[in-house]
Amino acid sequence: MSDAKFFQRGKIQELRLELNSDKKDRNYTRKKQTLKKIVANMTMGNDMSSLHPDVIACMSIPVLEVKKMVYLFLINYAKAKPEMAYEAIQTFRRDVEDPNPLIRALAIRTMGYIHVDKVTSCLIQPLRHCMRDQDPYVRKTAAVCVAKLFMQDRHLVENAGFIDLLREMLVDSNPSVVANAVAALTEISERSDHIQLQLNMSIASKLVTALNECSEWGQTYILESLMFVVPQEPGDAEMLAERIAPRLQHANSAVVLTAVKVIVYLMNYMSRDEDIQSMCKKLSPPLVTLLSSGPEVQYVGLRNILLVIQKHPEILKNDIKIFFCKYNDPIYVKMAKLEIMFRLASEHNVEQVLSELKEYATEVDVDFVRKAVRSIGRLAVKIESTAQRCVEALLELIQTKVNYVVQESIVVIKDIFRKYPNQYESIIGVLCENLDNLDEPEAKAAMIWIIGQYADRIENSDELLDDFLYTFLEETVEVQLALLTATVKLFIKRPTAGQDLVPKVLKWATEEVDNPDLRDRGYIYWRLLSTDVAAAKAVVLSEKPHISTETDNMDPVLLEELLLHIASLSAIYHKAPTTFIPHCKPRFLIPSPALRRQNYNVGRTLQHQDSYSSLHNTAQFQQGHNMQSGRSDEVDGGLDEFVSSSKQPQHQRLSYHEQSFEQVAEASIGNQEYYEQKMNAENPYRTDTAAVGGSQANKGGGVDLMSFDL
């Protein structure tokens, strides 16, 4: 019979009478029915707390179903009425020693949920006893209870020795106990400021052995814990990855993605390229299989795939057809697939990709069409051999006269002009025919840039700019900046045509607008034009740096961090967890002799792996010193602290103008003094000897990590 009948508002007095009835109640059937009504009323938001003496009296009934409902009642009201929990403490103590392991586990689980100090203090001894219980169900419940207790009072967990008991449970004979112990240790390590989980290869091997007998969620926990293994010897990472590889064929997508994360992590510690290529081939089928799931799982898989292929594009280079959009795909799946298609496009498959994108550009969904058109332009910039075909495709789309298609096409054609100067300017006439269709700031700014850049080739460029200037004061800042620069370009290239427009625009920019960027640019142009036209020409018409799709690539350091968070929200947001989770520990590759050199040279001034290598060498020296001093137990913690504190932000390369300014500044005040001022400005909290001098650099202690190297 359905339990829906219990979800009716009950009167307190009637329920109390039913609980205290003297009638014969075989198998406690009547009490079960009454307790179900009470729980149903709690679920509906009705206050049942006045029944607590009568409900607690039912705790002595040795029936598991009754105890579950009584414990649920206690959990619900104990926080608001702690005295209710005090009355149940003696019963909890009896239930923890009950012959039935299910009742023992239920009691210890319930005590972990009740956040009352007196109950928490009474939990310590029973919990310690349950962690060594003969029944594995009780042990695995106790392991999770330690993690819950840590959320309430982390100092109590550390001082009571529960961490050591969890470590012992990692070698338990029951895989479920091992999985729960791993989950608890991982959770505690992530939340603690001075506890860092580290697993050696011996423990990692035992955990992998337990994978075969665990549930799918237990496998996920164990695989996640393997992210705390740092291979030290050549061959360790390869061996561990080979043993994890069968999990890639699991039916559960969480297990598959977590296995992918661990293997991608271990690939950083593989020495031979052949092993990395072999692993990449094994990663391809499971990632493709994820796309046969529901749309939500597909999207999660696609966002993770987008990260993986930026580090290892060879994984899916031959499977681009899998990412072609289907007519019934949700829009969020289509957008994710488009990005991956662009990433995987190469000279070998560009014809197929371009054909697909042209089809997508005729769809009805506006956002999808915009993304497709923009992808065609990005494809032209990425692959030079297909640029001509991409331009022809964009011209065909412009001929459709669809407003948003035309505007997106103009935006990407501007980038094509910058990438390939003096090659496709013959299409400018077609673009000028569609000026009336422009109503979006980005499209207007792109078209204005084209008119200004090729003002000497467009006969009526002054008239076109004058038309845009009618609404100068109402336009967005982006359009106003473009109009200001384009007008100055027109004046420099065709002085007679631009002499009437320039004063008008400069007056508006410097006197009638509030934006400081626009005002400053107007003053700079005015001063240049009034003092030295040749200098103005050299500045305004200077050769622009070539653009490339490398600017679309994710920051290498951020990418490396996100690859350590595959199968989490970070991989979906493409943001480091520290940006949206307070007090979250950052993850990074721990240095070891097996760690491969990371190439972060593109757009960077710092080689990340060089710093890691120096850290490792320093840590090895410190380890030897500590062992001679009898402090070998603190080495791992010190190493972790040293690595985490040494992680400095990367700095972009300076632009042309910044380099020129810095060269002038450096020449005026001297190299050494300039260098010191620059370093102090970039990092005002420096503690190196050059900044603070002598032994002051080492003052002020850091956190002393409790590193559990198992």
Label residue 643 by pLDDT band (50, 70, 90).
very low
Rounded Cα gap, residues 160 and 535, in angstroms: 75
Query: Is the distance from CB of 105 to CB of 79 less than 8 angstroms?
Result: no
The one-letter amino acid code at 413 reads: I
Nearest 5 degrees, angle CA 388-CA 390-CA 393?
115
Query: Is the distance from CB of 589 to CB of 268 less than 8 angstroms?
Result: yes
pLDDT value, residue 386: 93
- What DSSP string runs through 333-381? HHHHHHHHHHHH--TTTHHHHHHHHHHHTTSS-HHHHHHHHHHHHHHHH
Query: Is the distance from CB of 490 to CB of 498 less than 8 angstroms?
Result: yes
pLDDT value, residue 383: 93
> By mean pLDDT, which of 74-88, 188-202, 493-507, 581-595 is the weakest?
74-88
pLDDT score of 614 more than 50: no
Residues 570-577 have a mean pLDDT of 94
Label residue 628 by pLDDT band (50, 70, 90).
very low
Q: C-alpha distances in angstroms, 109 versus 59, 88, 102, 114, 115?
A: 15, 14, 10, 9, 12
Query: Is the distance from CB of 116 to CB of 78 less than 8 angstroms?
Result: yes
How big is the chain by its Cα radius of gyration, in Å? 34
pLDDT value, residue 141: 95
Who contacts 419 (Cβ-Cβ below 8 Å, separation ≥6)? 380, 381, 387, 546, 547, 548
Rounded Cα gap, residues 39 and 3, in angstroms: 11
Label residue 596 by pLDDT band (50, 70, 90).
confident
Percentage above 90 pLDDT, the chain: 54
pLDDT value, residue 387: 93
pLDDT value, residue 158: 87
> By mean pLDDT, which of 114-123, 308-317, 400-409, 649-658 is the weakest?
649-658
Nearest to 559 by CA among 321, 341, 268, 315: 268
- The residue length of the chain stands at 710
- Average pLDDT over the chain reads 82
pLDDT value, residue 666: 39
Query: Is the distance from CB of 380 to CB of 353 less than 8 angstroms?
Result: no
Q: C-alpha distances in angstroms, 132 versus 126, 138, 462, 543, 624?
A: 10, 9, 86, 74, 37
pLDDT value, residue 598: 59
pLDDT value, residue 119: 86
pLDDT value, residue 12: 80
Who contacts 109 (Cβ-Cβ below 8 Å, separation ≥6)? 141, 144, 145
Residue position matching structure tokens 């467009």: 458
Label residue 597 by pLDDT band (50, 70, 90).
low
Query: Is the distance from CB of 172 to CB of 682 less than 8 angstroms?
Result: no
List, in sequence order, every beta strand (DSSP E) within 390-531. Answer: none
pLDDT value, residue 547: 82
Label residue 323 by pLDDT band (50, 70, 90).
very high
pLDDT digits (tens, 9 = 90+) for 496-510: 988 889 999 999 999
The one-letter amino acid code at 474 reads: E
Query: Is the distance from CB of 431 to CB of 398 less than 8 angstroms?
Result: yes
Query: Is the distance from CB of 291 to CB of 298 less than 8 angstroms?
Result: yes
Of residues 13 and 134, more confidence is placed in: 134
Query: Is the distance from CB of 662 to CB of 551 less than 8 angstroms?
Result: no
Which phi-psi region, left, alpha or beta, contains residue 448 (left: φ > 0; alpha: ψ -120 to 50)? Answer: alpha
Which phi-psi region, left, alpha or beta, contains residue 589 (left: φ > 0; alpha: ψ -120 to 50)? Answer: beta
Who contacts 427 (Cβ-Cβ below 8 Å, separation ≥6)? 391, 395, 413
Residues 217-231 have a mean pLDDT of 94
The phi and psi torsions of 198 (rounded to 5 degrees) equal -135, 135
Domain layout of the chain by residue ranges? 457-542
Beta strands at 195-198 and 706-709: parallel, antiparallel or unpaired:
parallel
pLDDT score of 316 more than 80: yes
Burial (0-12, 13-18, 19+ Cβ within 10 Å), 128: middle
Of residues 291 and 632, more confidence is placed in: 291
> By mean pLDDT, which of 16-30, 141-155, 562-576, 638-652 is the weakest?
638-652
Nearest to 706 by CA among 644, 636, 645: 636
Rounded Cα gap, residues 615 and 588, in angstroms: 13
Rounded Cα gap, residues 657 and 81, in angstroms: 67
pLDDT score of 448 more than 90: yes
The phi and psi torsions of 709 (rounded to 5 degrees) equal -90, 100
> By mean pLDDT, which of 61-75, 289-303, 324-338, 679-693 is the weakest?
679-693
pLDDT value, residue 2: 56
Tell me how far the alpha carbon of residue 280 is from its chain's centroid.
22
Q: C-alpha distances in angstroms, 451 versus 133, 427, 486, 507?
A: 80, 12, 7, 21
How many CA atoms, within 13 angstroms, populate the side-chain half-sphere of residue 24?
1
- What is the pTM assigned to this prediction? 0.77
The phi and psi torsions of 495 (rounded to 5 degrees) equal -55, -40
pLDDT value, residue 62: 84
pLDDT digits (tens, 9 = 90+) for 175-196: 999 999 999 999 999 888 888 8
